[in-house]
Structure 1
Amino acid sequence: MSTKFQILFLCTGNSARSILAEFLLRKIAPDRFDVFSAGASPKPAPHRLALQVLRDHYKIDVSEARSKSWSEYQGKRFDFVITLCDNAKESCPVWPGQPIIAHWPSPDPAEFEGGDTEKERAFWQVAQQIRRRLELLASLPFEKLDSLRLEAAMKDIGAREALDLDQSVATI
């Protein structure tokens, strides 16, 4: 049996997008990845709507979810580091071992303005975008790709499907 890939999802607050990515990938490909998330300036706790969407829409146990600083993983070797917001991309530290770094931008659902129902839809929309990207990641033939092709594939996943929350939530 081969070793699992080590993957880290980064965002500024580690309260929404990176938490969604961490728990969704744990569900999608638990045998292929050890999954972590962190933030540059972590919030005190994950956003309640991120946890609600994971529980209600994906039936994921989020009892272990917590916001973490990326300094918690200083010195840890990762195979992949994926930033989910522009701030994390710009301030991302150097990680040991030369991991493949990709940027998969998603809008911050915590910044969406509207009623409770619309806010939950915004979190669900972002979760769906992240889930689709994670399914593409999990389906990559890692054993057949050299590091340059793998890096290109990771960047291509992040370039797919831009999401405008104001427009997508309004159309649901």
Structure 2
Amino acid sequence: MTDDTRHRPLNVLFLCTHNSARSVMAESIMNRVGAGRFKAYSAGSTPSGVLDPRATSLLQHLNYKTDHLRSKAWDEFAILNNPDAPDLDFVFTVCDNAAGEVCPIWPGQPMTAHWGIPNPGSTEGTEAEVALAFADAYRQLNSRITLFCALPMASLDRLSLQRRLDEIGQSQAPDTSVA
């Protein structure tokens, strides 16, 4: 990391197509787990304009504040559309669709990685099965973000850090369900 990033929180952008569930959960988790070391944002390539109520309900149940969250376009963070956009240090895609799209040019030349998580909003089944899918998405995101926040940022060169980001994207959260 550069000297200027050591004097401010590292900015992290989470991307998902609709910015209604996974990316919003990731933003919330990062802002809590990152404890001031990281400032998280979320956005979507084609935002739905509304948050999935099941995602916000889960976050509220876990004592996250949700009143500031909103579904927004990634253009808000693109350098060509918003000269006041924060310099981004990291950009993570959390859905496979967003990972395959051509992204805008981000300010700050951020490191990027794909941390794909299945879309809990597309789960079919009972209310309990859908709730379990949202809880599982949360658990996977929380695990990856916790691993990320534990990285020794100052002591990793860019190539080593990129390798670690990619490894985190392949990691599976431990199963905490009761058999």
Q: Which residue does 2:13 correspond to in 1? A: 8
TM-score when normalising by structure 1: 0.90
TM-score when normalising by structure 2: 0.87
- The structure carrying a bigger helix percent of its residues is 1
Asked whether the equivalents of residues 46 and 67 of structure 1 are also in contact (C-alpha less than 8 Å), the reply is: yes
Q: Does 2:117 correspond to 1:106?
A: yes
Q: Structure 2: any 5+ residue segments left out of the alignment? A: 1-5, 80-84
Q: Which residue does 1:68 correspond to in 2? A: 72
What residue identity is the alignment partner of 2:95?
A: C
Q: How much does 1:121 deviate?
A: 1.2
How many residues align? The count is 166
Q: Which residue does 1:118 correspond to in 2? A: 129
Q: Which residue does 1:128 correspond to in 2? A: 139
Q: Does 2:99 correspond to 1:89?
A: yes
Q: How much does 1:171 deviate?
A: 8.2
What residue identity is the alignment partner of 1:23?
A: S
Distance in 2 separating the partners of 1:24 and 1:82: 14
Q: Which residue does 1:33 correspond to in 2? A: 38
Which of these residues, 27, 30, 33, is aligned with residue 22 of structure 1?
27
Which of these residues, 157, 167, 172, is aligned with residue 168 of structure 2?
157
What residue identity is the alignment partner of 1:12?
A: T
Q: Which residue does 2:157 correspond to in 1? A: 146
Deviations 1:23-42 (A, max 9, x none): 01111113111110000000
Asked whether the equivalents of residues 106 and 162 of structure 1 are also in contact (C-alpha less than 8 Å), the reply is: no
Q: Does 2:49 correspond to 1:44?
A: yes
Asked whether the equivalents of residues 104 and 159 of structure 1 are also in contact (C-alpha less than 8 Å), the reply is: yes
Identity of paired residues, percent?
Answer: 37
SS in 2 for 1:95: coil
Residue range with higher mean Cα deviation, 90-99 or 102-111:
90-99
Q: Which residue does 2:3 correspond to in 1? A: none
Distance in 2 separating the partners of 1:78 and 1:97: 5
Deviations 1:25-78 (A, max 9, x none): 11111311111000000012110011111111x211111111000001111321
